[in-house]
Amino acid sequence: MAMSDPQGILASPLTIIDRTGEPSDINSILNIIDQNQVGVVVVGLPLSLKGGIGPQAEKVRDFVRRLSEHTKIPIEYRDERLTTVSAQRLMKMTGKGRKVRDDAVAAALILQEYLDEKRA
């Protein structure tokens, strides 16, 4: 997961939620939403390289549907193709290595793209 600053300018890695089961996963997300006064949830959608909805993207959409039953916070999707690769390259360039998991950095990249689009 990633979070932006209050002005919505800069995204930073926040945490990793290790999947333990859907009710627990949803509760973890809802707790982060409540604790941080989140105004919108941005979800990375793992589209195929050709841009289509595959089995993994369907799983994400199903999970988000169930999550949305527990919150009124708007949820928006963003294409997450190749963000993990970009995150790994960025971590090599900055010398962070695996100290910060690439999933959290990828989440920050997805959120940063969303923030940049909203400001444009």
Query: pLDDT tens digit string along 14-35?
Result: 998 988 999 999 999 999 999 9
Q: Do 35 and 27 form a contact (C-beta atoms < 8 A)?
A: no
Tokens of 36: 């941080």
Domain regions of the chain by residue span: 2-119
Place domain 2-119 in its CATH homologous superfamily. Answer: YqgF/RNase H-like domain (3.30.420.140)
Query: pLDDT tens digit string along 59-109?
Result: 999 999 999 999 999 999 998 865 554 545 555 555 555 545 667 888 898
Nearest to 78 by CA among 40, 56, 47: 47
SS3 (DSSP) at 44: strand
- pTM, two decimals, is 0.81
